[in-house]
Amino acid sequence: MDINFFMPTKVVQGKNCIEINVDLFRSFGTKALIVTGKNSARLNGSQRDITKALDIVGISYTIFDKVMSNPTVDCVFEGAELAKEQEVDFIIGIGGGSPMDAAKAIALLATQNITEEDLFQGKYETKALPLVMVPTTAGTGSEVTQYSILTNDRAKTKQSIATSVLFPKLSFLDAKYMKDLSMEITINTALDALSHSIEGMLSIRSTDLTDSLAVESILKLSDSLSVLKKAKEEQSPQIPEKVREQLLYGSMLAGIVIAHTGTTAVHSMGYSLTYFRNIDHGRANALLLPGFLKFIEKSDFAKVKTILTAMKLNSNDELDILFHELLGERETLTPEEIKKFSGIAIQAKNIQNSKIIPTQNDLEALYTQSLS
């Protein structure tokens, strides 16, 4: 058995975990840049808890709250300039995947002077300011990964930065920040996390250890999705806090999985759905996932069976039905879009992680099967 495992992030999960652990901030310096979006971190109380904790331990801070959904290169370069001007010692990312990914890019850019081209080609020094993360959705797992996903308008797609210095030093997981999340966001982010665990198992870089973590994640997320499905059917706006906690835990495990395995063709294909059609990232993955499982099943039936069993399902058709119940009416693509998106997806790096590497014709068939 060959295992190569590395996880440098300290994770603290539980109610009021920031308030209880304020002393953990002391080791990072005396001035922080808080990276977040315009409203959500302020409304859900996470920003208040962070600033209160920093005040208690005597750490000054500046807030950069210009992060949009699917953050752009221009956004993170602006944030990095502010970090340099303020001479901050560390970065705190608060929010869903967008603020956390932006925080990571800012942490790297704040330590050096590089161009956009350098950033995406990996032409940078492997150094970054220390990172602290506070996820307020359960989906991306960015709180435990070395990835930052940015929108590159020049390339007209989303692109990733991956380097070990972007692993957060510390992450706080508190489900209370998720209590007012809409059903739509809760479902989309949960499906994003589920996609991470499943894709991790279908990656050529998977190991027995990452598979074990992925199965545990799938079990937790699937149980939670059953609750979400019932709540959606009953039009109940309230999700029990225990379920929120389970979603956070499952998402974190899924993040650890993809930190080692990477993602696969599902993410490669989903990026164009998000960039050109403005389909939420988690929803985009979920629209494509059942078809991809059928594609993989031909050569790795045992692995797909393990995934479906963990979800308490008997077949890919049952998975398709479950996702349809969660997602509702699906978007459709034109033949022109299918050809265009397949041409973009085939160039993405994570295509090569797939146990079966699809051709462009395979991608066109998968898009057609899923979205036409």
CA distance 304 to 289: 12
230-242 average pLDDT score: 87
Question: Mean pLDDT, to the nearest integer, of 207-236?
Answer: 94
User: Confidence band (pLDDT; 50, 70, 90) for 3?
Assistant: confident
Partnered with residue 92 across adjacent β-strands are: 34, 132
Q: How far is CA 323 from the centre of its chain?
A: 19
The pLDDT-based confidence of 158 (bands split at 50, 70, 90) is confident
What is residue 296's predicted lDDT score, i.e. its pLDDT? 93
Q: Does position 237 have pLDDT exceeding 80, yes or no?
A: no
Mean model confidence pLDDT for the chain: 95
Q: What is the CATH number of domain 182-371?
A: 1.20.1090.10
What is residue 331's DSSP assignment? P
For residue 74, give the H/E element and its range.
helix 73-86
Quote the pLDDT of residue 4. 82
Residues in contact with 131: Cβ distance below 8 Å, sequence separation at least 6, in sequence order: 90, 91, 92, 93, 103, 104, 107, 166, 167, 168, 169, 170
What pLDDT does residue 154 have? 86
Residue-level pLDDT at 2: 74
pLDDT in tens, 119-132: 999 999 999 999 99
- Phi first, then psi, for residue 284 (nearest 5°) are -60, -45
Q: How many CA atoms lie within 13 A of 247 on its CB side?
A: 32
Helix (H) or strand (E) holding 33: strand 31-35
* DSSP string of 237-299, one letter each residue: ----HHHHHHHHHHHHHHHHHHHHH---HHHHHHHHHHHHH---HHHHHHHHHHHHHHHHHTT
> CA 185 from chain center: how many Å?
13
Q: Collect all residues with Cβ–Cβ distance below 8 Å to 77 and sequence separation of at least 6.
A: 109, 116
Counting residues of the chain whose pLDDT is more than 70, the rounded percentage is: 100
pLDDT digits (tens, 9 = 90+) for 171-205: 999 999 999 999 999 999 999 999 999 999 999 99
| 157 has a pLDDT exceeding 90 | no
Q: What's the pTM?
A: 0.95
pLDDT digits over 278-326, tens only? 999 999 999 999 999 999 998 889 999 999 999 999 999 999 999 999 9
CA pair distance 310, 205, nearest whole angstrom: 20
Nearest 5°: phi and psi at 35? -110, 125
Q: Which of 301, 296, 305, 272 is nearest to 353 (CA)?
A: 296
- Tens of pLDDT, residue by residue over 239-271, are 999 999 999 999 999 999 999 999 999 999 999
Mean pLDDT of the region 273-277:
95
Asked if pLDDT for residue 236 goes beyond 90, the answer is no
Q: Where are the domains of the chain?
A: 10-177, 182-371
pLDDT in tens, 138-152: 999 999 999 999 999
Helix H or strand E segment including 35: strand 31-35
By residue count, the chain amounts to 372
Looking at residue 287, its pLDDT comes to 97
**C-alpha span between 187 and 305 (Å, rounded):** 23
pLDDT tens, residue by residue, 314-341: 999 999 999 999 999 999 999 999 999 9
Domain 10-177 fold is Rossmann fold (3.40.50)
59-118 per-position pLDDT tens digit: 999 999 999 999 999 999 999 999 999 999 999 999 999 999 999 999 999 999 999 999
